[in-house]
Chain A
Amino acid sequence: MPDYKRYQCSVCGHIYDEAEGDPDTGIAPGTLWKDIPDDWRCPECGAEKSEYALMA
């Protein structure tokens, strides 16, 4: 099982968990951060992908 990571939106605090993906925006569970398209936006606040940071 891969070592899934979590990323947090710096604008609103939304957490993207690679294990869970984000099915509502078409991101399947298990999708790694690097595989999410660059034009994907935070589902809660619309921030760009670059606003996310890896969680410690």
Chain B
Amino acid sequence: MQIVIIGSGVAGVSFAEKYRSLSADDEITLVTREHDGYYSRPLLSRGFSKADIEQSIILKPFDKLRENNIDVLCGVEVTAINRADKTVAINGSCQEKELHYDKLILAQGSSAFIPPPFRPYEKLFFCLNSLVDLKALRKFRQGFLSQNQRPDWAIVGGGLIGCEVASDLAAAGDKVTLFHAMDRLMERQLVADDSALLLKVLQDSGVKVLLNQAVQEFIKEEDKVCVRTEVTAEFDGLIVACGFKPRTELAELAGLEIGRGIKVNQYLQTSDESIYALGDVAELPNGKLYAFILPIRNQALWLAEFLAGQKQDFWTPPFFTTKAKVHGFEAVHPYNV
């Protein structure tokens, strides 16, 4: 059997390794746009306070997967899924070809969600959704540090990632202003008391937190970028952290059923019986997308066992919780996940 996996995050890699451990003979090909290996996505939020992060974030080089008889095609974009002849078309630096699959596993994850009003300004801001993004941010920041300056940052979005990044930049010694549209931080995951505690922790670390902010536009002013709310303030660097958007485009083009994510049944199977989806690109029948590492890895291990014939029961979400990586912050109450 030929198994093709798209994506080299925790979903794709955990699946590939588990499936290989259960089946020595099937061909496993993992296709990814990444170059650097399997890296820890949660650690992106610690990308400024740790000097060696660009190396230490890599948990497994792709060669390590190859040693395990998993064929990894990296730096490659999948351009189409042809369901009729069960192939995916890929386009890499020096190769353009088709791969046959018996089972296709979609694990492309998500990109940063950019609210529509910000989309015209994409050249003015950074996101922090991948190692490529982190490297670009670190390079930009290094430009200031090498001149003995500290960048003055605006972060738009006071959800989990926005708070983590604000905290880490402040811990690294930069000046940070955090804009949030709602009246409290991380309102999706935290009870009001914990939001208030988080606010205090961030403020104590030097972050200027602005709540109830309707950010209207960004304006380029020479080497500064301005954030306009009711007033206009200027910054050196701008990071938009407004949530995630599952990468459903490829599945949609192939005619698979799409909601917010790629719709799957309780066996993680899409509307095409040969195609499965897992990780934060997959939308379960209960309407949920699982975006945290623990349930994603659980899905990946389950699917490998299921496809290897070792599990018959459908996937059920494990108990899990999460914890924001904000320096010095411990929530009192459980997170809403």
Contact = CB atoms under 8 A, between A and B. Distances in A.
Contact of B297 (A10, A12, A41, A43): A12
B10 interface: yes
A46 interface: yes
A7 B293 CA distance: 17
A13 interface: yes
Contacts of A44: 10, 14, 59, 297
Contacts of B56: 41, 46
Given A11-B293, A11-B294, A12-B297, A47 B42 contact: yes
A45 interface: yes
A10 B59 contact: no
B318 to A, nearest CB: 7
B331 interface: no
B209 to A, nearest CB: 26
Nearest to A13: B294
A45 B298 contact: no
Contacts of B307: none
Interface string A9-47: 011111000000000000000000000000001011111
A43 B298 contact: no
A43 B10 CA distance: 11
Given A12-B10, A13-B298, A45 B318 contact: no
Contacts of B293: 11-13, 45
Contacts, number: 41
A45 B321 contact: no
A52 to B, nearest CB: 13
Most B Cβ at <10 Å: residue of A10, A44, A46: A46
Contacts of A10: 294, 321, 323
Contact of A13 (B39, B43, B59, B297): B297
B265 interface: no
B42 A45 contact: yes
A45 B323 contact: no
A52 B39 CA distance: 19
B227 interface: no
A13 B318 CA distance: 10
Contacts of B42: 11, 45-47
A47 B56 CA distance: 11
B325 to A, nearest CB: 10
Interface string B305-324: 00000000000001011010
B70 to A, nearest CB: 15
Contacts of A13: 293-294, 297-298, 318, 320
Interface string B104-118: 000000000000000
A31 B43 CA distance: 26
B40 interface: yes
B238 interface: no
A46 B298 contact: no
B278 interface: no
A11 B321 CA distance: 8
Contacts of B321: 10
B57 interface: yes
Interface of A: 10-14, 41, 43-47
Given A10-B323, A13-B294, 11 more contacts: A11-B293, A12-B293, A13-B318, A13-B320, A41-B56, A44-B10, A44-B14, A44-B59, A44-B297, A45-B297, A47-B40
Per CB-CB distance, the 5 closest pairs between chain A and chain B, nearest first, are A46-B40, A12-B293, A46-B43, A13-B294, A12-B297
